[in-house]
Structure 1
Amino acid sequence: MTLPTHPGPVAAARRANRGHDSYDGIEPLLAELAELAAHDPRRGPLRELCLRRCLPLADHIARRFTGRGETYDDLHQSASLGLVLAVDRYDPARGTSFLAFAVPTIMGEVRRHFRDRTWAVRVPRRVKETQLAIGPVVEQLSQRTGRMPTAVEIAVELELDLIEVTQALLAGNAYRTNPIDSAVDDESGPVSAQVTEALGATDPSYELCDDALAVAPLLRRLSERDRRVLYLRFFENRTQAQIAAEFGVSQMHISRILSRTLAALRARALRD
């Protein structure tokens, strides 16, 4: 079955009812704008008129990119910036229609928005560009084959290496990240819980590390004997009697050294 190449009466009627777009025939105004000097008072109002007439073009292009994870407002803002660049850079002397020049300029600005501002994790520029090109190709191949295309089919369609396509597909996971405090469904009931509540408790080693960092400079102020007693008791796990035997003193004397030293360390740590 072949489809007709000429437009049907319904499509023709729709175009007839739609009329002309506001940017049709914009070239004479742009030519007049190009002839005005930068300081000419007529330039500002004329430039604004051109931008207002061409604004629907930015709207059409922004809507083409909706449904890809970005809000319409952000896309419209990027497309409008592209429109400003197109109006300012258009050269009527080249004889090219404004539409042929503006569409690639605006679409390039929207693609740049996707490439540079919408990734949650830093990804190489080449991978970003490949990832953006995969979306339209997947749609085309899906319509053609009636199923999701494989990475090999995408690589053949884009004429790229399979490794590049695979990297771009994996990079898609870095496009958006879920906030750690977002709500998730709780199996125990209808009340939603935060992700942080399912990640486990606080590691006690953090508190131990803080304590060690706080006490380290205080330990350096102790006498060599007191540091040695603490080391034998808490790092080698010796008993007070064993420590006393090494120093040739009584166990009670070692007990008093430990009590006095620990109390002094605690007081200095809390004071500091």
Structure 2
Amino acid sequence: MTVTEVAVTRTVALPEIADPSRVAPKDARQLSRLFFDRLAVLEEGTREYQYARNALIEMNMTLVRFAATRFRSRGHDEMEDVVQVGMVGLIKAIDRFELTREVEFTSFAIPYIVGEMKRFFRDTSWAVHVPRRLQEARIHLAQATEELRGRLGRAPTVKELSELMCLSEKEVNEARVASNGYTSSSLDATIGSSDDGEAVLADFIGTDDNALDLVEDFNALAPMIARLDGRERRIIHMRFVEECTQAQIGEYLGISQMHVSRLLNRTLAKLREGMLTSD
């Protein structure tokens, strides 16, 4: 039976498909519209309703396998779990889809499927892949930070953490960066409800990034910073990357806070002049 012939029967009964999972994706898109149309008027719990819903699930399983390919770097055993949670997302999409949305079901379903897969990784592992040594360093970093904070009455410097943890300053900074990968928030997370249904985080994200206007300035600034001497670059890095105070910088360099202030102002003036005179 062709798709055209199936459409003629929509007012009578849904067509019996021997194996919905073997329907070609192109035909599945057209047949899905017919099945959704009938599903909207069928009584939930009836045999025909259950058949229509199950057929929609099986016809659109290719969407789950397609979405799972972006996680193909995972092991085989984990990929089986990924497909299973993706099926949960597909079922949610089927239960919530309406033809009146005037969007293709594939476009509607993919975010649900991928959202369930990402939620699976968020709940069972780090939000991003982090080497084991950095995962362990994150724990030690948290412990060392709390110990030094209590002892010093302030936030510890990278140097102080490095000495306590018996790690290089580079490794301490890597552990700090790795800590950012431990947790994340899903864009599909429900944060409230409205007249149009559930409100998710993604509904409130998507504004223009004004920082993009600074890209050219950063590109022009980079070679000027490279021409600074070692101490000037170190002061700039500690102040604006590590966000150290002038007192902390002075303590690290073995100079007074006032001297740090003079060096910082002189260096910034040099960079400012270079930016104003550059083409």
TM-score of the pair, normalised by structure 1: 0.37
Higher gyration radius (CA): 1
TM-score of the pair, normalised by structure 2: 0.36
